[in-house]
Amino acid sequence: MEHTVTVYRRSVLAAGALMLGGCAAIGSSIGPSANARAARTELSPTGRLRAAINFGNPILATRGSGGEPQGVSVDLAREAARRLDLPVELVQFNSAGSVVEAVKAGRVDMAFVAIDPVRGADMDYTAPYVIIEGAYLVRNASPLRRNEEVDRTGTRVVVGRGSAYDLFLTRELKAATLVRASTSPAVTDMFLAQDLDVAAGVRQQLEADARRVGGVRLLPGRFMVIEQAMGVPKGRTAAQVWLSAYIEEMKRSGFVAEALRRHAIEGAAVAPPRTS
């Protein structure tokens, strides 16, 4: 009798465990799918996912030989649309400032931008997926040798209007004067044409410019670290939550690292996993 009771108790416990496990599995499947449905609605008010692609940052996107967008941000946008079963529209821009204005105006549903507190007033971010460096470019004959020497009275620093570097240097420079080019790719040419003292921007862009124009050099190190994230218009909470989980999976799975490798991007690192 005692043996029978013991067997019965074990059977009940096992059945209970299976039932709880089944409930947990059902709960986990309902949660993500429900959240994905809500995110899908918030990310496609026009019936398609309008993703802002910024050619002002060559780390994120460039134009292929036929003019088509390519790069890590393009790959991430297309994969997100595929997972949400949405058609994707790649809305193209030449500067970060234009992207931010489009987000604020509701002309795009998702953007790839540098995290900045000023932009945070109109946009909600994921954690970063890529980290890149901001650098200074000077003429070979310039007396400037270190990043710390740039912020001096009389030094004129040119930067792309509305870029992460513009926002950062607007807060940080106390003595130097900022001069703004229309886009980040136009910075070096303006630096030379107007005989300015320093050009500021993405290290990779400035390195390419240095090879193109000659007679210039980058200051050692970096003046800032730029965290590139995905952003959505303020208040689209379900979209921000879904994209946050999505970007963590893309980092963890190697998708971001493989995209950087495939597009031959050097000097950019995959951001570490989110810790909270």
**Domain total in the chain:** 3
Q: Which residues pair with 136 in a beta bridge?
A: 200
Contact assessment for residue 227 and residue 116, using Cβ atoms and an 8 Å cutoff: no
Residue 209 placed within a domain: yes
The predicted structure's pLDDT at residue 156: 98
What's the CATH number where 185 sits?
3.40.190.10
Classify 33 as helix, strand or coil.
helix
> Do residues 123 and 140 both lie within one domain?
no
The predicted structure's pLDDT at residue 199: 98
With vertex at residue 40, the alpha carbon angle to CA 37 and CA 41, rounded to the nearest 5 degrees, is 90
Q: Which residues pair with 110 in a beta bridge?
A: 51
The answer to whether the pTM exceeds 0.85 is: no
Q: How far apart are CA 5 and CA 28, in angstroms?
A: 34
Which pair of structure tokens corresponds to residue 150? 């740039």
Residue 80 placed within a domain: yes
Give 183's DSSP letter. S
Helical spans, DSSP H, in the chain:
2-43, 72-84, 96-105, 164-172, 187-193, 203-213, 237-253, 255-262
A 10 A CB-CB count for 15 gives 10
Residue 126 placed within a domain: yes
Residue 276 placed within a domain: no
Sign of dihedral through CA atoms 74, 75, 80, 82? Answer: positive
> Do residues 12 and 76 both lie within one domain?
no
> Which of 186, 204, 224 is a domain's end point?
224
The predicted structure's pLDDT at residue 263: 94
> Do residues 152 and 170 both lie within one domain?
yes
Find tokens 């050009």 and name the residue: 199
H or E, element range at 60: none
Residue 275 placed within a domain: no
> Do residues 104 and 218 both lie within one domain?
no
> Do residues 207 and 166 both lie within one domain?
yes
Nearest CA-CA partner of 265 in 67, 54, 59, 77: 59
- Domain of residue 10: give its range: 1-39
Residue 142 placed within a domain: yes
> Do residues 124 and 244 both lie within one domain?
yes
> Do residues 82 and 29 both lie within one domain?
no
Burial bucket for residue 184 (CB in 10 Å: 0-12, 13-18, 19+):
buried
Helical spans, DSSP H, in 124-236:
164-172, 187-193, 203-213
> Do residues 150 and 180 both lie within one domain?
yes
> Do residues 152 and 114 both lie within one domain?
no
Q: How far apart are CA 127 and CA 116, in angstroms?
A: 12
Please give the single-letter amino acid code of residue 219. L
> Do residues 210 and 177 both lie within one domain?
yes
The predicted structure's pLDDT at residue 36: 87
Q: How far apart are CA 276 and CA 257, in angstroms?
A: 22
> Do residues 55 and 127 both lie within one domain?
yes
Query: pLDDT 10s per residue in the chain (276 long)?
Result: 444 434 334 443 343 433 333 333 333 333 456 788 999 999 999 999 999 999 988 889 999 989 999 999 999 999 999 999 999 999 999 988 899 999 999 999 999 998 988 887 889 999 999 998 899 999 999 999 999 999 999 999 999 998 888 989 999 999 999 999 998 889 999 999 999 999 999 888 899 999 999 999 999 999 999 899 999 999 999 999 999 999 999 999 999 999 999 999 877 889 999 876
